[in-house]
Amino acid sequence: MAQVLADRRDVDFVLFDQLEADALSQAEAYAEFNRKVIEMIITEARNLAVKEILPTQKDGDQIGARFNNGAVTTPDSFKRAWELLKEGEWIGTFFPPEWGGQGMPHLVSIAANDYFSAANLSLVMYVSLSSGVSKLIETFGTEKIKNLFLKKMVAGEWAGTMMLTEPEAGSDVGALTTSAKKNDDGTYSITGNKIFISGGEHDLSENIIHATLARIEGAPAGSAGISLFLVPKFWVNDDGTLGERNDVVCTGIEEKMGIHGNATAAMALGGKGKCRGYLLGEENKGMRAMFQMMNSARLHVAQTALSNASASYLNAVNYARERVQFRPADAVDKNAPPVAIINHPDVRRMLITMKAYVEGSRSLLYYVAKLIDQSHLAGDAEEEAGYEALIDFLTPICKGYVTDRSYDVTNLGLQVYGGYGYTSEYPQEQLVRDTRITMIYEGTNGIQAMDYLGRKTVMDKGKAMMALMGEIRKTFDQAKAVEALKPLVEKAEAVNNRLSEAAMQLGTTMMKGQIMNALVHSYTFMDVSGDAVMAWMLLWRASIASRQLAKGVKKKDEKFMQGQIKSAEFFINTILPLTNGKIDTIMDACYSAMEIDADSFGGK
The residues annotated with a catalytic role in the active site are: 442
> In which element (H, E) is residue 559 found?
helix 555-570
Amino acid at the residue 131: S
Q: Which of 296, 246, 248 is nearest to 70 (CA)?
A: 248
For CA atoms 524, 530, 534, 535, the dihedral sign is positive
CA distances from 530 to 198, 526, 537, 597 (A): 28, 6, 10, 31
Question: What is the biggest distance separating any 2 CA atoms in the chain, rounded to whole angstroms?
Answer: 89
Torsion of CA 395, 396, 402, 407, to 10 degrees: 140
Assess contact for 79 and 204: CB atoms under 8 A.
yes
Q: Which of 160, 168, 188, 174 is nearest to 247 (CA)?
A: 188
> In which element (H, E) is residue 368 found?
helix 345-377
Strands in 173-263 per DSSP E: 179-182, 188-198, 207-216, 226-232, 234-236, 242-245, 248-253
Q: Which of 79, 44, 43 is nearest to 59 (CA)?
A: 79
Q: Which of 30, 209, 7 is nearest to 106 (CA)?
A: 30
